[in-house]
Amino acid sequence: MASDKTARRPKAETPKGFRDYFGAEVTERKAMLDAIAEVYHRYGFEALETSAVETVEALGKFLPDVDRPNEGVFGWQDEDKDWLALRYDLTAPLARVAAQFRNDLPSPYRRYAMGPVWRNEKPGPGRFRQFYQCDADTVGAPSVAADAEICAMLSDALETVGIPRGDYVIRVNNRKVLNGVMEVAGVLDPADPSKFEAERGIVLRAIDKIDRLGEDGVRALLGAGRKDESGDFTKGAGLSEAQAEVVMGFVGANERVTQLLARQQDVAFGMGDEQQTRELGYAAGLGVPGIAKKEKGNIPDASFNLRNRKTLEYLLELVGPSEVGKQGVEELLEISRLLAAQGYGPDRIIIDPGVVRGLGYYTGPVFEAELTFEILDEKGRKRSFGSVAGGGRYDDLVKRFTGQAVPATGVSIGVDRLLAALRAKGRMGGEAAGPVVVTVMDRDRMADYFAMASDLRKSNIRAEVYLGNPKNFGNQLKYADKRASPVAVIQGSAEREKGTVILKDLILGAKIAESATLEEWKDRPAQVEVPRADLVAAVRKMLGQ
């Protein structure tokens, strides 16, 4: 049994669900965020840093993911009995700032924010209670031009941090189109928008799960309900088969468009050249009826994409007489035009009805950035990497405070997932370079060793003196190894008398130790002795600088 005295010692542990980040884990994330901030800044966005603590009143009682009711915040009462809490995202504080400083901020207000957020939810493997978010939002811009700008900026940000074109795609949809579909399906009454709210919530969450549940699972949730493998029953939206059919037409829009395009290609000229296909599409008058007027104008035809056009046509058909639905399709068309004018083609940003995004508060365009390359999952199966960023328009968030609706749109980048992607692509996580370690042979001559390290640092070489107990020299080399040190500097009394230092090439040394034969290394000595005056030059050479 532990003695009383031992029992009273505090445990050296992070709280459950929290973790520490060491060395390159910190600096690599920082480098990524710095690169993204530079892109945001170039687009005219301004930095904003709110404090971690907000009043619970300002945060609001809702958390973004309404389908996970266990989620909560970390909160406490202050000395005046007001409830305070740690922010759970960067959007709620933005809404508070936009309301609090509405007379001082420029309008529209473009801002970016980066920092940790906290969620009081059950921790799990890879699921932490503190994590980073990286957001950019435009407050006070009613037109979808603001949404288009966010999409272009997201594309630039991904390429800047090292996701090459072709390895990602940004999918854009519009909640208004979905609302049009809901109208046609009979679960949205434009005259009384509060009617069928529960049903629409179920529909929204069901179609957001298409990848996981498949078509049959979604159909079950649209109808009576669904029993999962464990036997748990989830209540459905109660739609009739005809109603469900309309919704499924939306869910399957992407596939349907692919079929339409393939058929048309076959008819026209078999599996021909893409450019020809596109031109033929235009020649065949595949204009979207009712919005053809706007399409002509300043956009060169060649920049317009057949697939986007076909998708919009199909959606327009789907929303039929719904006014909000038609408006939604028009907005998507406008976004396509603005992006095309800047050269953001469908190789980077496409219209995709498959993007729903679960959050209830989106009111217009929604978007999601997906990485398209494959990685191996924990079971060794190939899987596509998936979503790393998402956002959309949420026109009602500031209204809570002021009573006035303020349009807003924005994006949030999943910092940890994007970092994981960069590491998977080998764009980050290379061996971090440790410092040159100046070893200590004679503890009375620390001043000499300090002067060596100082000389190296003055030449911008990372360097340090060994500061542990110098008695056991082997420990010093073990330390250098643990630090991933490239070079060890040694000066014993013999070298001191000759005015020299010994340099050990630790990277080469490790390679020689691994290798069966010394043959390939024989031209490059793992250790050299040089005059003290040549220390910096010789280290530089060993580092390959």
In the bound complex, what is the minimum distance in angstroms from residue 246's beta carbon to a second copy? Answer: 33
d(Cα 307, Cα 261) in Å, to the nearest integer? 7
HEC per residue, 348-415: CEEECCCCCCCCCCCCCEEEEEEEEEEEECCCCCEEEEEEEEEEEECCCCCHHHHCCCCCEEEEEEEH
Residue whose CB is less far from a second copy, 145 or 375: 145
362 in a labelled binding site: yes
| Residue 320 vs 499, nearer CB to a second copy | 499
| Closer by beta carbon to a second copy, 23 or else 193 | 23
443 annotated among ligand-binding-site residues: no
Q: What is the DSSP string of 249-292?
A: HHHTHHHHHHHHHHHHHHHHHSS--HHHHHHHHHHTT-PPTTTH
The distance of closest approach from Cβ of residue 152 to a second copy in the complex, given in angstroms and rounded to an integer, is 7
Residue placing its CB nearer to a second copy in the complex, 49 or 197: 49
| Closer residue to a second copy in complex, CB, 340/539 | 340
137 has binding-site annotation: yes
How far apart CA 63 and CA 153 sit, in angstroms, is: 26
Angstrom distance (rounded) from CA 361 to CA 397: 8
Q: Which is nearer to a second copy, 235 or 458 (CB)?
A: 458
Asked if residue 65 belongs to a known ligand binding site, the reply is no
Task: Check the annotation: does 89 bind a ligand.
Answer: yes
Q: What is the separation of C-alpha 342 from the centre of its chain, rounded to a whole number of angstroms?
A: 23
119 a known binding residue? Answer: yes
Of 332, 391, 326, 388, residue with least CA distance to 358: 391
- Which residues, including other chains, have CB under 8 Å from residue 446's CB and lie 6 or more apart? 440, 465
CB of 35 vs a second copy, minimal distance in Å: 13
* Distance separating alpha carbons of residues 184 and 202, to the nearest angstrom: 17
Taking each helix axis as running N to C, give the angle between helix 253-269 and helix 274-283, from 0 to 180 degrees, rounded to the nearest 10: 90
Task: Name residues whose C-beta falls within 8 Å of residue 158's C-beta, 6 or more positions apart in sequence.
Answer: 168, 369, 388, 389, 418
CB of residue 477 vs a second copy: minimum separation in angstroms? 12
DSSP result, 315-359? HHHHHTT-HHHHHHHHHHHHHHHHHHHTT--TTTEEE-TT---S-
Measured from the CB atom, is 84 or 528 closer to a second copy? Answer: 84
Burial readout 477-509 (b: 16 or more C-beta within 10 A, e: otherwise):
bebbeebbbbbbbbbeeebeeeebbbbbbbbbb
The minimum distance between CB 359 and a second copy, in angstroms, equals 20
In the complex, least distance from residue 465 CB atom to a second copy, rounded to whole angstroms: 7
Is 133 a known ligand-binding residue? Answer: yes
Q: Of 82 and 255, which has the nearer Cβ to a second copy?
A: 82
Q: Please tell me whether 527 is known to bind a ligand.
A: no
Shortest distance (Å) from residue 141 CB to a second copy: 4
Query: In whole angstroms, how far apart are CA 517 and each of 331, 513, 521?
Result: 67, 9, 8
Q: Which is nearer to a second copy, 30 or 195 (CB)?
A: 30
* CA atoms of 458 and 466, how far apart (whole Å): 18
CA distance 69 to 91: 19
As measured in angstroms, the least distance from the Cβ of 158 to a second copy is 16
Confirm whether residue 282 is marked as ligand binding: no
Please say whether the beta carbons of 93 and 396 come within 8 A. no
What is the rounded CA–CA span in Å between residue 124 and residue 131? 13
Tokens of 52: 């971690």
Closest approach of a second copy to the CB of residue 530, in Å: 20
- Nearer to a second copy by Cβ, of 401 and 473: the residue is 401
Question: Are 122 and 88 a contacting pair, CB within 8 Å?
Answer: no
CB of 459 to a second copy, least distance (A): 10
**Whole-angstrom Cα distance, residue 470 to residue 58?**
57
Task: Specify whether the CB–CB gap between 86 and 118 falls below 8 A.
Answer: yes
Least distance to a second copy, CB of residue 87, Å: 11
- For a second copy, give the closer residue by CB, 14 or 384: 14
Query: Residues annotated in the binding site for L-histidine, as ranges?
Result: 89-91, 119, 133, 137, 357, 361-362
Query: Residues annotated in the binding site, as ranges?
Result: 89-91, 119, 133, 137, 357, 361-362
